Amino acid sequence: MLRGLLSSSTTILSKPPHPETLLPIIQSHVDSSQPKCTTPMPSPYTSTLQTLLEPISDQNPPHLLSYAPLFQFLTAQNFLKLGQQIHAHMTIHGLQPSAFLGAKMVAMYASSGDLESAVTVFDKIKNPTSLLYNSIIRAYTNYGYPLKTIDIYCKMHCLGLKGDHFTFPFVLKSCTNVLDGWMGKCVHGQSLRFGMEFDAYLGTSLIDFYVKIGELRDANKMFDLMTVRAVSSWNALIAGYMKEGEIRVAEDLFGRMPRRNIVSWTAMISGYTQNGLAEEALSLFDEMLKEDSEVKPNWVTIMSVLPACAHSAALERGRRINEYVNRIGLESNTSVQTALIAMYAKCGSLVDARCCFNRIPENEKNLCAWNAMITAYASHGQGLESVSTFENMVRAAVYPDAITFTGLLSGCSHSGLVQIGLKYFNSMQTVYSVKPRHEHYACVVDLLGRAGRLVEAKEFIDKIPMQPGPSIWGALLAACRKSRNLEIAEMAANELFVLEPENSCNYILLSNMYAEAGMWKEVDKLRARLKCQGIKKNPGCSWIEINGKPHLFLSGDASHPQAKEIYNLMQALPEKIKAAGYTPNTSFVLHDISEEEKEHNLITHSEKLAIAFGLINTTPEVVLRITKNLRICGDCHTVIKFISKIYGREIVVRDVNRFHHFREGACSCGDYW
DNA sequence: CTAGGGTTAG
């Protein structure tokens, strides 16, 4: 590369340029690297450069050491082409860089994006020093070549060159990135031999290393042994405990640390989010804004808190954070907009999700952004939109990955686009070089199963070139419910009972199917099995957000202050709906009780309670947004369609799988779910 | 030089 560059600049090199002629060249390069700048060259650069160039032009031949500050300056300013010119200038004067100068040049090339030239310079240095090795180690680490970094470090070690506090943090980070526990521990040992046990940076790197390889105990031991702890040392340990779900310990550390910065707060917030504690994440975010005026949330903080809104479907909360994002000037950040897309989609507002997507400039729409939008359409049952978004993505020359295809295939599946879905599945490896994984096979099983093609789905599973996991059998079992195919359901369930014996959902699903078929003996058998294995089933619940405040309802819940009003409304509802042509579908009750009782049982489903509450407490133009922790039941689905018609309401229901938009007596899913 | 990170089916 470097050789190429030198020969390509022969027009300059054919006549050795006098150093003074460099300035105009430099000037032109600065101009081209900053196209928006109308002034020829910012004066501080000119004068600094002039000062730095003086010794080179005064001495003939120039002294080697005069180049060092020049390269350092160019590294800081990221003026690659200038660096090449100066490098050429040295070559013309027959100057071989020393190890010291070589280190500066490596840094200059590396920081300007030309790793290849950095390596070429490095390889040509005759008597390498620790400094030189540090510069190339740093380059390889930053470019994401951890194995190269480790390799180079081994060479350095063999040459007897001492590592220092600019060596070990990078080498450790590389060991961490490839999860090489053995190598990392060797490096740890070597660092101790060089007397580095009191270095705070190294200590933090070590904590992070032990955290990432899953040896939290050792991470904590490192922390305890450290005499000088940086804020980052605390942060690394907090992140470690959060990752292991040890929330109390993380909270204790956070409470005890002498100083906190934005990373500390973000680590806590994202820890809460990742452990499903959305409320805690949101309130800590508020507390941070209120109590610690020293810290300023950045894009990472925003990305950590948004999934909490998504998790609890807290749309108003999410909107307020969106306004905050605009206020602090983060709206141009692509990652933030991507997190907003997912948040709005999961909070039920596809329109807002699309706005965020549109806000990202075309050339900045990256893989994550496209994936977020494709998945958003999929979860709202807009399969065709998922497909066209995918096609636009390919047209924009962004290559799809495994996540793209899970979104695309699930979009096809939710919309009943069986042929299209199968076509994409068959092309994912051949056309797009994305190897199908478990989730993709599960999507195809879902695609076929949902369309009632259970036998094909089973045959498909038999042909999968890997051991089918719980997701694949789970998709088959869920699909059986609609077609009421007990034979295949039992087969799928028996696989699942072995693969994930503690997952209550599988027992419930099969039990419900038995109940629908009136096979109460089998229902009892399954219930007994649940009981004797001590498996807890998670109770159904729904919540609705009104004026930004969530209201939670359990199935059959009578504890609510407005319970009486709610039940009155629900009780009056069947008559109203029956007048509009509805028959309650009591097969969804699934207890061995009388028909009349069943009817009563139906009206206490949590999603109905939440909707009744919403009808009572909002004005007619408000869209009701309900979130349910399980799949919506068939009777509720029918009833909500009628409610949307009778009350003229728009109702959006998010269940565990997808969204249902009810309007004027119809649902966006077209009853295909 | 170290710590916090968006997109994933059923």
Give distance CA A629 / C1' B3 (Å). 35
**Beta-carbon neighbour count of residue A672 at 10 Å?**
14
Q: What is the pLDDT of residues A646-658, one digit of tens each?
A: 888 999 989 888 8
Nucleotides of B under 7 A from a protein CB: 1-10
Q: What is the pLDDT of residue A539?
A: 81
Pairwise CA distance, residues A629 & A607, whole Å: 10
Number of residues written out for chain A = 673
The gap between A301 CA and B4 C1' (Å) is: 8
For the CA of A267 and the C1' of B2, the distance in angstroms is: 15
Instruction: Label the pairing between strands A624-628 and A651-654.
Output: parallel
Share of chain A above pLDDT 90, in %: 52
> What residue has token string 């295809």?
A405
- Is residue A19 predicted with pLDDT exceeding 70? no
| A189-219: pLDDT as tens digits | 998 888 777 788 999 999 999 999 999 999 9
How many helices and strands (H and E) does chain A possess? 36, 6
Band of the pLDDT at A34, cuts 50, 70, 90? very low
Mean pLDDT on A229-256: 95
pLDDT at A586 over 70: no
Position A45 confidence tier, pLDDT thresholds 50, 70, 90: low
Q: Is the CB of A394 under 7 A from strand B?
A: no
Alpha-carbon span A246 to A320, nearest angstrom: 30
A77 vs A235, which has greater pLDDT?
A: A235
Cβ of residue A236 near strand B, that is under 7 Å? Answer: yes
d(CA A132, CA A107): 9
* Whole-number percent of chain A with pLDDT over 70: 89
Q: Does the pLDDT of residue A23 top 80, yes or no? A: no
As beta bridge partners, residue A541 has A554
Tell me which residue of A615, A628, A469, A470 sits closest to A546, measured CA to CA: A615
- Which residue, counting CA atoms, is nearest to the C1' of nucleotide B8? A403
Distance CA A328, CA A351 (A): 23
- Domains recognised in chain A with CATH numbers: 260-364 (1.25.40), 541-667 (no CATH)
Does residue A495 reach within 7 angstroms of strand B, measured from its CB? no
pLDDT at A589: 56
Q: Is the CB of A134 under 7 A from strand B?
A: no
More confident residue, A529 or A278: A278
DSSP line for A631-651? PPPHHHHHHHHHHHHHTT--E
Q: Decide: A406 and A424 in contact? Cβ < 8 Å.
A: no
CA–C1' span, A302 to B6, in Å?
A: 10
**C-beta of residue A208 within 8 angstroms of C-beta of residue A237:** no
Cβ-Cβ contacts under 8 Å for A37 (sequence gap 6 or more): A31
Q: How far is CA A401 from the centre of its chain?
A: 14
DSSP state of A412: H
Lowest mean pLDDT among A53-62, A411-420, A423-432, A590-599: A590-599
Whether residue A652 contacts residue A628, with contact meaning beta carbons closer than 8 Å, is answered with no
Q: Above 50 in pLDDT, residue A40?
A: no
**Lowest-confidence range among A43-57, A261-275, A615-629?**
A43-57
Q: Which residue has the higher pLDDT, A41 or A177?
A: A177
Helices (H), A159-261: 168-177, 181-193, 200-212, 216-225, 231-243, 247-256
φ, ψ at A554 (rounded to 5°): -95, 160
- Scan for tokens 């909360």, then name that residue: A317
A523 within 8 A of A486, measured Cβ to Cβ: no
Pair A99, A74: CB distance under 8 Å? no
Query: Which pairs with CB-CB distance under 8 Å and at least 24 residues apart come from A216-219?
Result: A216/A240, A216/A241, A216/A244, A216/A246
pLDDT at A36: 35
Q: What is the amino acid identity at position A511?
A: S
pLDDT number for residue A374: 97
3-class state of residue A348 by DSSP: coil
- Rounded to a whole number, what is the distance in angstroms from the first to the last CA of chain A? 57
Q: How does pLDDT run across A461-473, given as a tens digit for each residue?
A: 999 999 999 999 9
pLDDT of the residue at A35: 38
With a 7 Å cutoff on the CB, does A371 touch strand B?
yes
Rounded-to-integer distance, Cα A229 and Cα A596, Å: 68
Q: What is the mean pLDDT of residues A290-298?
A: 86
Q: What is the DSSP letter of A467?
A: -
Q: What is the pLDDT of residue A597?
A: 56
Q: What are the Cα distances from residue A157, in Å, to A145, A160, A171, A433, A533? A: 18, 5, 12, 40, 56
| Residue from A624, A661, A647, A657 nearest A547 by CA | A624
Gap between the Cα atoms of A609 and A606, Å rounded: 5
- Give the H/E segment covering residue A542: strand A541-546
Q: Are A412 and A424 in contact (CB under 8 A)?
A: yes
Pairwise pLDDT comparison (A327 vs A524), residue with the higher score: A327
Q: What is the pLDDT of residue A44?
A: 60
* Distance from residue A555's CA to nucleotide B9's C1', rounded to whole Å: 27
Q: What is the mean pLDDT of chain A?
A: 86
* Per-residue pLDDT at A517 exceeds 60: yes
Rounded Cα distance, A443 and A421, in Å: 9
The lowest-confidence range among A4-13, A134-143, A509-518 is A4-13
pLDDT-derived band of residue A602, with 50, 70 and 90 as boundaries?
A: low
CA distance linking residue A99 with residue A400, whole number of Å: 44
Other residues' Cβ atoms within 10 Å of the Cβ of residue A556? 14
Mean pLDDT, residues A550-565 taken together: 84
Cα angle A588, A591, A597; round to 5: 85
Measured between alpha carbons, how far is A587 from A499 in angstroms, rounded to an integer?
29
Instruction: Please report where in the chains the tokens 């290393």 appear, as a residue.
Output: A209
Residues 265-324 of A with CB under 7 A from strand B: 266-267, 270, 274, 298, 300-301, 303-304, 306-307, 310
Q: Does residue A366 lie within 7 Å of nucleic acid chain B, judged by its CB?
A: yes
With b for 16 or more beta-carbon neighbours within 10 A and e for fewer, the A130-163 pattern comes to bbbbbbbbbbbbeeebbebbbebbeebbeeebeb
pLDDT at A594: 55
Q: Is the pLDDT of residue A630 over 90?
A: no
Identify the three-state secondary structure at position A532: helix
Are A574 and A624 spatial neighbours (Cβ–Cβ below 8 Å)? no
Work out the pLDDT band at A33, boundaries 50, 70, 90: very low
CA A331 to C1' B6, whole Å: 14
Looking at residue A110, its amino acid is A
Check whether A25 has a pLDDT greater than 60. no
Three-class secondary structure assignment of A111-159: HCCCHHHHHHHHHHCCCCCHHHHHHHHHHHHHCCCHHHHHHHHHHHHHC
Coil vs helix vs strand at A626: strand
pLDDT at residue A6, as a whole number: 36
Top mean pLDDT of A48-52, A193-197, A396-400 is at: A396-400
Q: Which nucleotide is nearest to A265 (CA to C1')?
A: B4
- Across the range A519-529, mean pLDDT stands at 85
Residue A31 has pLDDT above 60, yes or no: no
Of chain A residues 512-551, which have a beta carbon within 7 Å of strand B?
none
What is the mean predicted confidence (pLDDT) over A551-570?
A: 84
Strand B closer than 7 Å to the CB of A443? yes
- pLDDT at A561 exceeding the cut of 90: no
The Cβ-side half-sphere exposure at A506, using a 13 Å CA radius, reads: 25
Token pair belonging to A356: 């965020």
Q: What is the mean pLDDT of residues A39-60?
A: 68
The protein residue nearest B9 (Cα–C1') is: A439
* Å between CA of A230 and C1' of B2: 9
Dig out the tokens for A472 from the structure. 């694949």
Which nucleotide minimizes the distance between its C1' and the CA of A446? B10
For A441-463, write each residue's pLDDT tens digit: 999 999 999 998 999 999 999 99
The sign of the torsion formed by the CA atoms of A213, A215, A219, A221 equals negative
| Lowest-confidence segment of A200-204, A336-340, A586-590, A611-615 by average pLDDT | A586-590
pLDDT of residue A2: 37
**pLDDT greater than 50 at residue A604:** yes
